[in-house]
C-alpha cells in the first residue's frame, strides 16, 4: 500500500472511532425492577336478610325503619306488629388482611306482593361507606333501610332483592 492510501485509511478509521465514541457519550442505560403483589379476591356473602317484620297499615302513609343493629321504629300510618322476624341484612366480607374496602348500597328498591308494591330506600350500613378487614381478612357489614308503607297498604307478604357491593380501595 502506498502512504497516501494508508493515511486515508487511518483517517477513515479514526473518524469511525470518534463517531462511535461520540454516540456512546450521548446515551445512557439504566435498569428498573418490575414487581406485582397478588392479593386475595374480595368476596361478599349474605348471612341474614333485611326483614321489617309484621306491619299494620291504616288510613295514612307511614314508614318502618330497621337500623343496622336490627332495631325498628315506625312513623305515620305504619304500626308495628309482630317483631319476631325483624332483622338487619348482614353480609360476611373476606379478602386481603387489613385491607380497606368501599361499600355501595342501593338507593331504592321495590318489594312486591302480587300486583301490590312498596318502596324501600334510605339504605344505611355499618360500617358506613368504608370498611376495614381484620388482620385475618374478614369483616361484617350490617344493612338497614326504610320501608315506605302506602295508604291502606294491601295485606300480603312483600319480597324483593337488593345488591350490596364491596370493592378494595
- Dump pLDDT digits (tens) for 121-141: 999 999 999 999 999 999 999
pLDDT in tens, 10-30: 565 665 655 555 555 789 999
Q: Which of 102, 141, 101 is nearest to 124 (CA)?
A: 141
pLDDT at 25: 74
Q: How many domains does the chain have?
A: 1
Instruction: Determine, yes or no, domain membership for 18.
Output: no
Instruction: Determine, yes or no, domain membership for 28.
Output: no
Query: What are the residues whose beta carbons fall under 8 Å from the beta carbon of 103, sequence distance 6 or more?
Result: 125, 127, 128, 129, 130, 131, 141, 164, 165, 166
Instruction: Determine, yes or no, domain membership for 103.
Output: yes
Let me know: does 40 contact 95? Beta carbons within 8 Å.
Answer: yes
Looking at residue 143, which CATH number applies to its domain?
2.60.40
Instruction: Determine, yes or no, domain membership for 7.
Output: no
pLDDT in tens, 54-92: 999 988 999 999 999 999 999 999 999 987 799 999 999
Cell (9 digits) for 108: 331504592
> In terms of residue numbers, what domain contains 117?
43-168
Let me know: does 164 contact 143? Beta carbons within 8 Å.
Answer: yes
Task: Give the Cα separation of 76 and 98 in Å (integer).
Answer: 43
Amino acid at each position: 500500500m502506498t502512504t497516501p492510501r494508508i493515511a486515508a485509511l487511518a483517517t477513515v478509521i479514526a473518524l469511525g472511532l470518534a463517531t462511535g465514541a461520540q454516540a456512546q457519550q450521548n446515551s445512557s442505560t439504566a435498569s428498573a425492577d418490575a414487581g406485582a403483589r397478588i392479593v386475595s379476591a374480595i368476596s361478599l356473602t349474605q348471612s341474614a336478610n333485611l326483614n321489617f317484620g309484621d306491619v299494620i297499615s291504616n288510613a295514612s302513609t307511614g314508614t318502618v325503619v330497621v337500623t343496622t343493629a336490627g332495631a325498628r321504629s315506625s312513623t305515620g300510618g305504619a304500626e308495628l306488629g309482630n317483631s319476631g322476624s325483624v332483622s338487619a341484612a348482614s353480609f360476611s366480607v373476606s379478602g386481603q388482611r387489613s385491607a380497606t374496602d368501599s361499600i355501595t348500597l342501593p338507593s331504592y328498591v321495590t318489594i312486591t306482593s302480587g300486583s301490590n308494591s312498596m318502596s324501600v330506600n334510605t339504605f344505611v350500613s355499618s360500617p358506613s361507606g368504608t370498611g376495614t378487614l381484620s388482620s385475618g381478612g374478614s369483616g361484617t357489614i350490617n344493612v338497614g333501610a326504610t320501608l315506605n308503607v302506602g295508604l291502606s297498604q294491601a295485606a300480603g307478604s312483600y319480597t324483593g332483592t337488593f345488591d350490596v357491593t364491596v370493592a378494595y380501595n
